[in-house]
A and B are shown apart, each in its own frame.
Chain A
Amino acid sequence: MNRAGEGTSSIRTATRRTPSTRARGARALVAGVAALAALAALTGCTSAAAAPGRPTVVIGAKQFTEQWIIGELYKQALTDAGYDVELKSNIGSTNIIDGALTSGQIDLYPEYTGVILQVLAEAKSVPTNAADTFNEAKKFQETRGLTLLKPTPFQNRNAVAVKPAFAKEHGLKTISDLKKAGHVVFGEYPDNLEGALGYHDMVKSYGLNDTELKTLNIGLQYTALDHGQVDAADVFTTDPQLAKGGYKILEDTKGYYGFQNVAPVVHRDVLKEQGPGFAKVLNRVDALLTDQAVREMNRAVDTVRLAPSEVADRFLRANHVT
């Protein structure tokens, strides 16, 4: 606050200048800024008008690489097929994005079949194969006015990873072997503490009594393992950082982490509104998503550092979808 020249001197100078010119200047400034703002507001609201009879479809995606890519794949394939779509990427945790879907803020999003049962349906136990997991997840979503389209060939499962040296030192092969390692610091992402896939439930069902929790954002577990800040961590099996090697996956002998294929969760009304071609486009994209394809696209974004939109575009072109 530089208010030098306050008091008497400011009155003197103020009376030397005609006040009206200053007021005009101030008004011009305000008008100018207001015009700018109006312009900004106009450019900000350029959501294209939907084709007649077919409202815009809003696709959601969660907050990690694989979801950004799948979101882009859906968006580009549907846009190319003549549908009017919008993508809202980076939407919080499973419960948040599910809330966004049920409240109609988004119309569809890609979800993992096991997660639907474990986190949303809060199932006590999960099926022992991928097909049953998908069918039960679909049944659950249909009780809520939603449905699942066909699942992807690929799965992205949670797993517990440790450094090979740590595994050798304590002779670890399975998750329950962690009991042999004494005090274990376990890295878990903040979204996965509670619930059927969560840290607390996992240590309970494997009887790991001497673990210490360290919450880490998705994607930071590997550096934490490398630097010895955690001894074990919850990781995703399609993560390119995992594929780079240098980590050992401990066997999930109880099938605790279930089956995790991806399927679009969509409002049934939206499918009706958009017509039969809509699901066909998504099914065609999902059929292409094999383990290898997804891992390579994740690598392109996470390691080569290409934009998810660019990676999706190249993949769809290579497969003649767009």
Chain B
Amino acid sequence: MSGGPVIPDFGNPSSCVANDGTFCADWFTAHWSNLFWPALAQHIELTLIAVVIGFAISLAAAVLAHFKGRLAAPVSAVSSFLYTVPPLALFQLLVPVTGFSVLTVEVALVAYSLYLMFTTILTGLREVPEESVRAARGMGLTRRQILFKVELPLALPAVVSGLRVATVMTIGTVAIAAYVIDEGLGSLILKALQSPFNTQFLGAGVLAVALALTADALLVIGGRLLAPWAHTRRAA
């Protein structure tokens, strides 16, 4: 090792990048495959895990609360309390227990999604018209059959609306998870703040918004396919 290390020529940025232009499309496309796409994929994955687990828990809790009215108040209280804790504070509380890990992030995300989904699903179940339940009972359906064949199908629009709100909120909250794990679009946003660079900041931000809109649209379409009767257009 004489004369110190070899320093490769790292070249120079394009003039747009050098001047930190508002949005350098050339840089964005050049870094799509090694920067933006991986971050977007991680973002989708983190969101999906949280929403699916949150949905399963909320659905089970809402059905239980629907059967046993006494349970509704405590579950609602706990989930609404969790919902009011600021995300960063919750991450801070969890890190000593679960570390800088995906688990920390997912526990927090699931905790946030419960309140929105639990309340909408429970309201949907409670708003099922009494006469349809009575009719079903009259036809000799069991309590379980009534739940699966009458109540849940009729509550579907409410369930879907809960899923929509929770999904969009989760996509936003995953961006804050970058304070705990170096993943998702939030990580790009955070790093673009720490080393100021508009293109990365804007690119990741716009992708996050586009992801939220796309997820919402997909859920709307899914909801219409599952419950077409709820969206029949009627002449005004």
- Could you tell me which A residues sit within 8 Å of B by CB distance? 1-7, 9-11, 13-14, 17, 19-20, 22-23, 25-26, 29, 33-34, 36-37, 40-41, 43-44, 63-65, 68, 88-92, 100, 103, 105-106, 217-220, 223, 287-290, 292-293, 296-297, 299-307, 310-311, 314-315, 317-319
Contact = CB atoms under 8 A, between A and B. Distances in A.
A64 B195 contact: yes
Contacts of A318: 5-8
Interface residues of B, number: 66
A162 to B, nearest CB: 20
A13 B232 contact: yes
Contacts of A288: 1, 4-5
Given A23-B148, A90-B187, A217-B194, A315 B7 contact: yes
Contacts of A302: 195
B230 A311 contact: no
- Residue of B18, B100, B230, B234 with highest tally of chain A CB at under 10 A: B100
A37 B226 contact: no
Contacts of B10: 296-297, 299-300, 304, 306, 311, 314
Nearest to A313: B8
Nearest to B194: A219
Interface in B94-110: 96, 99-102
B7 A90 contact: no
Contact of B153 (A6, A23, A88): A23
B48 A40 contact: yes
A1 B124 CA distance: 11
Contacts of B127: 6
B61 interface: no
Nearest to B34: A307
B152 interface: yes
Given A11-B132, A20-B149, A29-B222, 18 more contacts: A1-B157, A9-B232, A14-B132, A14-B229, A22-B156, A22-B226, A37-B53, A44-B45, A90-B178, A91-B100, A220-B193, A292-B4, A307-B35, A315-B8, A317-B8, A318-B5, A318-B6, A319-B5
B101 to A, nearest CB: 8
B129 A105 contact: no
